Amino acid sequence: MKPLTSDFRAKAAETMVDEQVLQSLEHVYTGFFKGRLEAAGNTDNWEDLREKGKAIKDHTIAHLDYYLGQLADNVEKNGGSVFFAADAAEARKYVLDLAHARDIKTVIKSKSMVSEEMALAQALIDEGIEAVETDLGEYIIQLSGETPYHLIAPAVHKSRKEVAELLDDSYVDGNPVPDATELTMMAREKLRSVFERADMSVTGVNFAVAESGSIALVTNEGNGRMSTTVPRVHVAVMGMEKIVPSIQDLSTMLRILIRSATGQRISSYVTLVNGARKSDEEEGPEEFHLVILDNGRQKLLADEQMRESLNCIRCGACLNACPVYRKVGGHAYGWVYPGPIGAIVTPVLTGLKDASNLPAASSLCGACHDACPVKINIPRMLLELRYRTAEGKTDKQERTSSMRERTVWKAWRIGMMGRKRFDVGSRLSRLFLRPLAENGWLKKAPPPISGWTSTRDFPLISSSSLRSRLNKRSKKTKS
């Protein structure tokens, strides 16, 4: 998928005045965010599980080269094929070549963010192959020609009426809008026949187990099960970080993933497959292929400040928790991964200079860090990326801070580093700012402070510091 990260401001502004979309985004909060809190609250050892999940991921990523080799060996031992793709184009070509070689007519796709990175569905369609998204949300998005709005609820921004226009052939404007059940049953009908004729499936991978060569798929709808059962060729695509060492690690990972994603204790289906169907089975694919994608992830791995982002299990909890995501929506982020996690991986994965505004779209409130089931310190990385952009660390030409700004901050730093300097500095600022204040608040100020006061008031610096007040108080209590 072609990144469009430069449009953040424009797209965010569009969303913020779209009442219907804002209302849909409330579902993200009331449904997923509160659901996760409740699920975590009802889990005795929730914090231990998070620690355990983090430890499993830390260990795996620290030995990713070893586990990638082990995974590939075991998939091959199970009779599957493994393809290592350096970028999205290589991965796409592998799948397209395979589809042609096997004379594939219809591909069913299960939800996969990696396949979005590959822009796979459209690539198949361009080659004359029918490619249908089977997750209901993804299917709706495919019909409307959009990109996913949310990691686990791709069509969360769509109203029932919009869905009816896409799904219900008999719907005309002005008719009563069918309810969610009726619309879902229409989709069931349409997709059933697609499942029946599909000869290839493409699924994502929630976890790949290195020691057994298994892949685990988590779905509520059952499309993951259809995909691993009906077509004669199954292709699973995964980012290189999606490994766990042992089958036994799955109990921890499934618990934290599912609770964090939807607030459920378990999703309707968890499917574990170890390659193609066995010789005595009547169903299941004849061939299994695993595509392991890099697509910029090496840059995250090599960068010690950013490596932790590879622990992400794509649950979407940070999106649901983010006050910015809930107002600007998923499309503003411009690429596959929206929200806080998108704001840190998109600039590095796409390498785009104009994606550097994504880390700025955060209040650094830390809600994403609290919500993350594997405790990824997203705010720390947001700050790191902001720092790099401001200082021109990645590209001197693209340094966003001006000489004046840097000088001001240098002076600020000096002022803040000594008690005397700090006291003198605050007294001086108060002296300069007092004439502009009304009742202790700056409401209108000249540039550059006007950037702040145009949208909010700034409190006038107090005449006495907290420290001097505390000193006075403690003297009083002593006497």
Partner 1 sequence: MTSRAKFIANVTSSLGRTEVITPSSDDSTAAFDDAATARANAGRVMADTAARSVELTDTMAEAASTIGWKVHRVANPEDAADIVANICVQKGATSVLRSAHDILDEINVDAAVTSTGANLRVTEHSGDNNETKVNESKSAAFAADIGITGVDYAIAETGTVVLHPRSGLSRLVSLAPPTHIAVLRPGEILDSLDDLFAMERSDHMSGNLAGSMNLISGPSKTADIEGTTVTGIHGPLEVHLIILETD
Examine residue 441 and tell whether it contacts partner 1 (CB under 8 A).
no
Residue 290 and residue 75 in contact, taking contact as beta carbons nearer than 8 Å: yes
> Applying CB under 8 A, which part among 282-290, 319-327, 330-338, 430-438 lies near partner 1?
282-290
Residue 177 and residue 160 in contact, taking contact as beta carbons nearer than 8 Å: yes
Write down the least CB distance from residue 253 to partner 1, Å: 10
Examine residue 34 and tell whether it contacts partner 1 (CB under 8 A).
no
Q: Which of 52, 109, 259, 289 binds partner 1 (CB under 8 A)?
A: 52
Write down the least CB distance from residue 84 to partner 1, Å: 4
> Radius of gyration of the chain from Cα atoms?
26
> Applying CB under 8 A, which part among 59-67, 116-124, 377-385, 418-426 lies near partner 1?
59-67
Binding to partner 1 in span 364-403, by CB under 8 A: none
Write phi, then psi, for 290 (nearest 5 degrees): -115, 120
Residue 258 and residue 219 in contact, taking contact as beta carbons nearer than 8 Å: no
Using CB under 8 A, count the residues that bind partner 1.
99
- Please say which residue, 222 or 415, places its beta carbon nearer to partner 1: 222
Q: Which of 118, 226, 367, 374 binds partner 1 (CB under 8 A)?
A: 226
| Cα 250-256-258 angle, rounded to 5 deg | 90
- Please say which residue, 60 or 357, places its beta carbon nearer to partner 1: 60
Q: Which of 109, 158, 242, 369 binds partner 1 (CB under 8 A)?
A: 158
Which of 399, 292, 300 has its CA nearest to residue 347?
Answer: 300
Examine residue 146 and tell whether it contacts partner 1 (CB under 8 A).
no
Write down the least CB distance from residue 275 to partner 1, Å: 7
CA distance 75 to 72: 5
> Applying CB under 8 A, which part among 224-232, 393-401, 405-413, 440-448 lies near partner 1?
224-232
Write down the least CB distance from residue 376 to partner 1, Å: 16
Q: Which of 5, 15, 24, 206 binds partner 1 (CB under 8 A)?
A: 24
Examine residue 292 and tell whether it contacts partner 1 (CB under 8 A).
yes
Q: Which of 105, 265, 472, 473 binds partner 1 (CB under 8 A)?
A: 265
Residue with tokens 């934290």, as numbered in its chain: 256
Tell me the two tokens of residue 102.
């096997």
Examine residue 163 and tell whether it contacts partner 1 (CB under 8 A).
yes
Residue 231 and residue 198 in contact, taking contact as beta carbons nearer than 8 Å: yes
Residue 125-144 contact track with partner 1, rule CB under 8 A, x = bound: ---------xxxx--x----
Q: What is the DSSP string of 372-439?
A: -TT---HHHHHHHHHHHHHHTSS-GGG--S-HHHHHHHHHHHHHHTSHHHHHHHHHHHHHHHGGGEET
Bridge partner list, 201 = 108, 234
Burial of 30 from C-beta contacts in 10 A (0-12 / 13-18 / 19+)? exposed
Write down the least CB distance from residue 191 to partner 1, Å: 7
